[in-house]
Amino acid sequence: MIKRKAIGMAKSIVLFSGGIDSTTALYWALARPRAVQALTFDYGQRHRVEIRMATKLAGKIGVPQTILKIDLTQVGGSALTDRASDLPRYKNLTQIPPGLPMTYVPFRNGILLALAAAWGEPRRFTEIICGFNIIDSPDYPDTRPEFVRAMEKAINAGTGAAFGRPRVKILAPFVRMKKSEIIRKGMSLGADYSYSVSCYAGKEVPCRTCSACLLRARAFAEACVRDPLLKRLKKEGKR
């Protein structure tokens, strides 16, 4: 991976959880003439293994990464942050009920974007890039295009941009793409998905029964690509 000097170059933050979408967003950002910073959040999520895997990938490709720690377990209301709540399990995707998912963390993406804007302002970052998409997961309210536009407007109204500093753009390049299309895009960019963890159960080896695992399996099947994570785990004797 080519390392770029930040002097005189536009600077982009990538919200980097380590999953498929944010991994693709990271490689998408690296393909542009920008200085790129990965920003990862430890918010008390059940699947904190994603943080460790994200750190491995960032180190492997030489991207600077910062981990910000907050505690959304105090908010509750989600199977991802409330350990007293059972993680929903399904045999297949048709069993997932419509409506607000139990794995929705209340206003999580709004909180993360706000923190990214706050962290980026004194460091002169003018772009926040995220892997939000709605085609395969339409019931999350904080991944929609109108949400992204509203957050961008709020950030520019509530930061130094309101007094003449450079405005901040929020980019969600995959918002209207299927997850399989996102994978194909990532593969064309040379993305390494072998450390991308999607499973909500909290382990490196996927449980194969949570909604994230089922969506991931379908996406790689539709993309006609063998999941690089499973290939790595098999090679390392972990599955």
Q: Does 106 score more than 80 pLDDT?
A: yes
DSSP string, 197-239: ---TTSSSS--S-SHHHHHHHHHHHHTT---HHHHHHHHTT--
Look at residue 6 and tell me if it is in a domain.
no
Higher-pLDDT residue of 194, 6: 194
Structural tokens at position 217: 């399996």
Q: How many domains does the structure of the chain reveal?
A: 1
pLDDT (average), residues 168-189: 98
CATH number of the domain at 141, please: 3.40.50.620
Task: List phi, psi (to 5°) of 129.
Answer: -110, 130
Structural tokens at position 10: 């536009």
DSSP string, 55-118: HHHHHHHT--EEEEE--GGGT--STTT-TTSPPP--SSGGGSPSSS-TT--TTHHHHHHHHHHH
**pLDDT digits 0-9 by tens, 127-162:** 999 999 999 999 999 999 999 999 999 999 999 999
Structural tokens at position 182: 């996102």
Domain that holds residue 46: 11-235
pLDDT (average), residues 81-85: 92
The pLDDT of residue 9: 76
The pLDDT of residue 1: 46
DSSP state of 128: E
Q: Does 100 score more than 90 pLDDT?
A: yes
The pLDDT of residue 23: 98
Cα–Cα distance measured from residue 6 to residue 11, given in angstroms and rounded to the nearest whole number: 7
The pLDDT of residue 8: 61
Look at residue 3 and tell me if it is in a domain.
no
Cα–Cα distance measured from residue 117 to residue 128, given in angstroms and rounded to the nearest whole number: 8
Cβ proximity of 37 and 13 under 8 Å: yes
Higher-pLDDT residue of 1, 181: 181
Look at residue 82 and tell me if it is in a domain.
yes
Look at residue 196 and tell me if it is in a domain.
yes
Task: Tell me the pLDDT of the chain averaged across its residues.
Answer: 95
All residues at 6 or more sequence positions from 6 whose CB lies less than 8 Å from its CB, including other chains: 35
Confidence of residue 33 (pLDDT cuts 50, 70, 90): very high
DSSP string, 14-62: EE--SSHHHHHHHHHHHTSSSEEEEEEEE---TTTHHHHHHHHHHHHHT
Q: Provide the percentage of residues in the chain whose pLDDT is more than 70.
A: 97
**pLDDT digits 0-9 by tens, 155-178:** 999 999 999 999 999 999 999 999
Confidence of residue 225 (pLDDT cuts 50, 70, 90): very high
pLDDT (average), residues 64-86: 96
